[in-house]
Each structure stands twice: as structure tokens, then as C-alpha cells.
Amino acid sequence: MAMTGVLRPGHAQLRVIDLDQAVQFYGDVLGLVETGRDGSGRAYFKAWDERDHNSLVLRKAKTAGIDHFAFKVRDRSTLERLESDLRECGVAVERVPEGEMLATGRRVRFEIPTGHRIELYADKEPALYPGQLRNPRPWTEAAEHGIAPIRMDHTLLYGPNVNQALGLFTEILGFYLTEYVTLPDGETKGALWLSCSVKAHDIAFVEHPEPGKLHHVSFLLDSWEKILRAGDILSMNKVPVEMGPTRHGITRGMTIYGFDPSGNRFETFTGGLQSYPDQAPIAWSWEELPSGLDYPQRKLHETFLSVVS
């Protein structure tokens, strides 16, 4: 598909309770590369194979959770067009100036019906990428440090009014629905997976009474073997693991879920369906949700549905 609008997930800014502990976890256990600190104390990270300066930002706070999730758009004219489209549809938009985040240009911020802040931006400085843009090696030394994901891949957000969010993402931002789960009435969509690319999803939503909640941020690995290795690393570091290694029925991705020291859930993920916008979305009934979440065991993990930050 021609990627002319929103390109991909850009970064997530998470709240953490103990910044030093979080930096150690994301740097040494998850294996992300720290790329800087700013004047407010935020810590910036990227995955080893990402080319932009950052994809994860950590901010010390009293409670865990997500401040915002951001998408990179094609260019500045696209950013201006999408800002105009949002305003025309009655969405309250705030401009965040260049430099408010390290290495990041002007951002457009708005709140969606689920109570989450979404941001769009066109410019982010490239990260140091030595030896990888000409005759590159298949991996670098950083790819062997910790779990070492390739990239930050997607997020799942919990909040009310997910079908209103669906309309905003599909009608204004150009996403398309790839899969959904209907509630027990058999008609209402209660969980949604949306893509702006050919991935199984770039963002997902689940209906939840509390607004603005984080279910997880996901990090991509490149094989099932790397997922199993991630499980070893998490166990060796006594990280709380909630589910996996297993396969989802929904998206067909292979996965492990765990929690960072502040209680934010993260996922290591590989595989998954490739999607195209001309394809009809895949429907899952409420009765088949257990196999949608954990296909081998066909099991509902209670905390997976109820614990958010």
C-alpha cells in the first residue's frame, strides 16, 4: 500500500514510579539503547535496529501509565493536512513546539474518545547507526544485549467509546480495521485492531470503563526462537510474566507478556498476519475470545483482561 499519511508508530511516553529502576530494566533486561536525558529528567530509548532517535520515553511520576502514544507522518505538509482535518471534524488540537522532546520536531496533540492522548509528528533526528546504512551487518553488538527487540511495534489501550475512536482513526487518520471482537450481544465491537501499514496492527483498543488506561506497549522480535530466549531472560531476572510463550489466535502473533518494575505491561512479539486495506476485517465472537488470546490453551487469563496502568 502507498504510505502517504501516517507512516508508523513513533514513540510511547510512559510514566514510571522509580526512574532509575525503570532505566535499568528497559536498558539491561529489555535491551533498549538509551539515547539521552532532557532537562525535565525524562529518559529516552530506542531499539537497536531503529533509525530514529527514540521510540520510548520514560517520565518519573507518582503513578504508572501512558502519557501519550505518537505516530510519525510522512512529512510536514501531511502533518498540516491532518491537523486541519482534525480541527474540521471538531477535534480539539494542541500544538507542541519543536524541542519539547529531545530530537523531535513540532507535534500535534489531541485527545481521543477513549481518554488517551495521541500525537502526530513529521520530524525526528536520526539515531547514530554506525555501519548499518552501507553494506550492513545483519545485527550489531546491541542486538545481543538483553532481549534486544528490533523496534517498538504497537500499543493496546483500554478506555470507553472505542467505536468512536474507530471512526476517528479510520475516517480522519487513514487507518483500517484488521480484526475485532464482538461483545456477548454478538453485534457491538468491544475490541479493535487497526493498522496504518501492512502489519497485523499498529494500535488496538478494548472497551473499558476507565479512560486513558494502558494495557501494553509491544516490542518486536524477529523469530519464535528470540521469543523463547526472551522468556529465559525474563525468568533469569525474576520479571513477573503474565502469559506465554504462546500464540494469539487474534493477529496470529507469538508472544510473552510481563510487567516492568512500575507495573506497566509490555509485550515481546513476533509474526502475525499481514494485512491490506482492501481486505475485510476478521471477526471474533465473545465465546471464542479464549482462543483469540491464548490459542494453544484456549484460556482466558483473568489479569490480562482486568489489570491496566
Q: Catalytic site residue 248?
A: yes
Q: How many Cα atoms sit within 13 Å of 123 on the Cβ side?
A: 14
Phi-psi region of 238 (alpha: psi -120 to 50; beta: other; left: phi over 0): left
Task: For residue 222, give the DSSP letter.
Answer: S
Dihedral sign for Cα atoms in the order 223, 226, 231, 234: negative
149/27 Cα distance (integer angstroms): 11
**15 Cβ neighbours under 8 A, 6+ residues apart:** 59, 60, 61, 63, 64, 65, 66, 67, 262, 264
Of 53, 154, 208, 215, which is the active-site residue?
154
244/164 Cα distance (integer angstroms): 32
Task: For residue 124, give the DSSP letter.
Answer: B
Task: State the distance between the two ends of the chain, measured CA to CA, in whole angstroms.
Answer: 34
Of 129, 225, 248, 302, which is the active-site residue?
248
Of 201, 207, 208, 215, which is the active-site residue?
201
CB–CB of 101/57 below 8 Å?
Answer: yes
Q: Catalytic site residue 267?
A: yes
Measure the CA angle with vertex 102, ends 23 and 265; round to 5°.
35
Phi and psi, residue 147, nearest 5°: -65, -35
Q: Catalytic site residue 257?
A: yes
Q: Catalytic site residue 68?
A: no
Phi-psi region of 186 (alpha: psi -120 to 50; beta: other; left: phi over 0): left
Q: Catalytic site residue 210?
A: no
Q: Catalytic site residue 301?
A: no
Just list the catalytic residues.
Answer: 154, 201, 216, 248, 257, 267
